[in-house]
């Protein structure tokens, strides 16, 4: 009894001590963002001018096309852009390949590795019934530019081009080469960016930094984060389309046997959903992201994220329950997106399938993730066909001078914002550039509200006119201060 009491007291003391250490860490880990003035500013006239440029670009419905399809809308967009940004189109070295644009602005010292800014020209369809305006009217109203592509990704493209155009007009010459790149089929992974990379490879060109869409400056990016957050994507997850096939004898639906193809597929789907078969891990930059944002969070979350040595296990369990994004940060995900069975309501299928869209994590690559599902499929006598497969990208380093430079520029231009690395669950053109660059940074310097974020690839896409002006001035700053 005495020993039991002693052990109990000891455990209690250890628990109290751990709690004290955790609380002290959380209290001392509090930071506030700087209240200094931003290094960039702009006039109302400039704001209106940039909004006009973006509006003109949105008016051209450059719907994403596959190779060999009609590219005339893209040529129309390029004509519009050549009128909006005449210096870029007349003064810079241009290498356009199949509608994909590549410009080289020669710097003072071209022996240094250049930087490359990119944004795609294509947009996804705008067929949602919820659109309040014509998605291709380029309407400027209530302080925003509205329409398909207003954010993804013409605002990025417009801001990059407007910044370079202004600097060219002023006779500025960058320290190192500045490249502008834009593909015509990012949205359907059509290979446009690869074509541009092939060109750079053929010329033996390496780049110090590539900046493409990805993270942005987001309000309420994470629950409990009290300040806006500039999230820089350092890695993107892989992409697999898997067809799970069930075969059967078919027959009349009035006398169904057990375990028909759709039943077996359903059992498979339920098991995958319920058993969460993929391994969870904190791969870089997830721990670094927690470290960056923890000091700016409300106390309960600061307590947890400042003490991952203590809460690692709990967070791994709880995070996927709290948010699907949180789950996607930690492991491979699998979404069931399409399916088909027989051709009539009263006919049993002799062939049915379901498509899984898998996003493999860095620590469990495409092949390993597919193997996990193969094992489960076996149990239900299902065939597995890999339709497309790609591993996660490389992870760009947070310790590079290129990341440090981007962070420094953000601290100066967006002083009210916390900068963090993050893992992208979706894909961008940026990964193609890994072959010519070690620092692929997926980030657009644009402030987005939750509504704007939710409207990406959905109805009522829009972007703030002041956010657009801020992005133009940020790109200018980023180019001007390069050494």
**Contact residues: Zn ion, CB under 5 A:** 152-153, 213
DSSP 8-state assignment for residue 320: H
Minimum CB distance to Zn ion smaller for 176 or for 390: 390
Give me the helices (H) in 386-434, please. 401-413
Cα atoms found within 13 Å of the Cα of residue 33, Cβ hemisphere only: 22
| Spatial distance between the Cα atoms of 77 and 184, rounded to a whole number of angstroms | 11
Minimum CB distance to Zn ion smaller for 188 or for 279: 188
Distances (CA, A) of 78 to 30, 56, 202: 48, 11, 25
Chain Cα centroid distance, residue 73: 26
Backbone phi, psi, residue 181, to 5°: -130, 145
| Spatial distance between the Cα atoms of 218 and 454, rounded to a whole number of angstroms | 12
Minimum CB distance to Zn ion smaller for 283 or for 452: 452
| Spatial distance between the Cα atoms of 227 and 219, rounded to a whole number of angstroms | 7
Nearest distance from C-beta of residue 432 to Zn ion, angstroms = 14
Closest CA to 124 of 158, 100, 148: 148
| Spatial distance between the Cα atoms of 370 and 153, rounded to a whole number of angstroms | 32
Nearest distance from C-beta of residue 105 to Zn ion, angstroms = 23
Minimum CB distance to Zn ion smaller for 153 or for 216: 153
Minimum CB distance to Zn ion smaller for 153 or for 354: 153
Nearest distance from C-beta of residue 434 to Zn ion, angstroms = 18
Closest CA to 97 of 74, 129, 64: 74
Minimum CB distance to Zn ion smaller for 233 or for 295: 233
Nearest distance from C-beta of residue 289 to Zn ion, angstroms = 21
Q: Tokens 């791969």 appear where?
A: 283
Nearest distance from C-beta of residue 302 to Zn ion, angstroms = 33
Element (H, E) at 20: helix 2-28
| Spatial distance between the Cα atoms of 222 and 399, rounded to a whole number of angstroms | 24
Minimum CB distance to Zn ion smaller for 152 or for 470: 152
Minimum CB distance to Zn ion smaller for 47 or for 213: 213
User: Is 437 strand, coil or helix?
Assistant: strand
State the sign of the Cα–Cα–Cα–Cα dihedral 452, 456, 462, 465.
Answer: positive
Cα atoms found within 13 Å of the Cα of residue 336, Cβ hemisphere only: 16
Nearest distance from C-beta of residue 276 to Zn ion, angstroms = 29
Element (H, E) at 191: none
Nearest distance from C-beta of residue 272 to Zn ion, angstroms = 29
Nearest distance from C-beta of residue 182 to Zn ion, angstroms = 11
Minimum CB distance to Zn ion smaller for 307 or for 428: 428
Nearest distance from C-beta of residue 66 to Zn ion, angstroms = 17
Minimum CB distance to Zn ion smaller for 177 or for 213: 213
Nearest distance from C-beta of residue 429 to Zn ion, angstroms = 8
User: Is 169 strand, coil or helix?
Assistant: helix
Give the count of beta carbons closer than 10 Å to the beta carbon of residue 72.
11
Give me the helices (H) in 29-85, please. 44-58, 72-84
Secondary structure (H, E, C), 232-247: EEEEECCEEEEEEEEE
Nearest distance from C-beta of residue 120 to Zn ion, angstroms = 6
Minimum CB distance to Zn ion smaller for 294 or for 471: 471
């Amino acid at each position: 009894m005495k020993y039991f009491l002693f052990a109990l007291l000891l455990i209690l003391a250890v628990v109290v001590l751990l709690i004290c250490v955790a609380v002290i860490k959380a209290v001392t880990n509090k930071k506030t963002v700087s209240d200094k003035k931003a290094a960039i500013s702009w006039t109302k006239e400039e704001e209106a001018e940039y909004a006009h440029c973006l509006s003109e670009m949105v008016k051209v419905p450059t719907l994403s096309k596959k190779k060999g399809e009609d590219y005339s809308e893209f040529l129309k967009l390029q004509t519009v852009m050549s009128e909006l940004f005449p210096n870029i189109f007349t003064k810079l070295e241009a290498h356009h390949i199949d509608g994909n644009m590549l410009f080289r602005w020669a710097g003072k010292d071209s022996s240094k590795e250049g930087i490359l800014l990119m944004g795609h020209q294509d947009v996804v369809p705008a067929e949602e019934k919820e659109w309040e305006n014509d998605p291709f009217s380029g309407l400027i109203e209530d302080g925003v530019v509205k329409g398909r592509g207003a954010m993804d990704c013409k605002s990025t493209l417009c801001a990059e081009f407007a910044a370079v155009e202004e600097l060219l007009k002023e006779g500025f010459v960058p320290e190192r080469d500045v490249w502008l790149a834009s593909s015509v089929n990012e949205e359907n992974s059509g290979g446009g960016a690869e074509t541009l990379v092939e060109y750079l490879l053929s010329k033996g060109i390496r780049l110090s930094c590539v900046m493409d869409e990805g993270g942005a400056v987001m309000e309420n990016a994470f629950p409990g984060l009290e300040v806006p957050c500039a999230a820089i994507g350092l890695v993107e997850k892989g992409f697999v389309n898997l067809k799970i096939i069930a075969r059967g004898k078919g027959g009349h639906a009035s006398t169904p046997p057990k375990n028909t193809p759709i039943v077996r597929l359903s059992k498979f789907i339920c098991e995958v959903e319920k058993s969460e078969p993929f391994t969870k891990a904190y791969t870089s930059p997830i721990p670094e992201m927690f470290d960056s944002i923890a000091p700016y969070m409300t106390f309960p979350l600061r307590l947890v994220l400042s003490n991952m040595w203590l809460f690692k296990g709990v967070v791994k369990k709880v995070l996927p329950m709290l948010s699907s994004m949180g789950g996607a940060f930690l492991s491979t995900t699998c979404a069931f997106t399409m399916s088909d069975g027989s051709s009539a309501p009263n006919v049993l299928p002799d062939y049915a399938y379901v498509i899984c869209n898998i996003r493999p994590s860095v620590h469990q690559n495409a092949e390993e993730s597919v193997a996990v599902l193969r094992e489960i499929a076996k149990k239900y006598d299902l065939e597995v066909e890999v339709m497309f497969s790609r591993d996660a990208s490389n992870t760009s380093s947070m310790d590079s001078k290129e990341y440090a430079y981007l962070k420094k520029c953000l601290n100066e231009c967006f002083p009210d914002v916390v900068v963090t690395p993050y893992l992208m669950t979706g894909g961008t053109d940026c990964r193609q550039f890994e072959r010519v660059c070690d620092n692929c940074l997926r980030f657009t310097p644009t402030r987005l509200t939750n509504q704007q974020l939710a409207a990406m690839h959905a109805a009522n896409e829009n972007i703030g006119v002041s956010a657009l002006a801020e992005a133009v001035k940020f790109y200018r700053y980023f180019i001007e201060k390069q050494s």
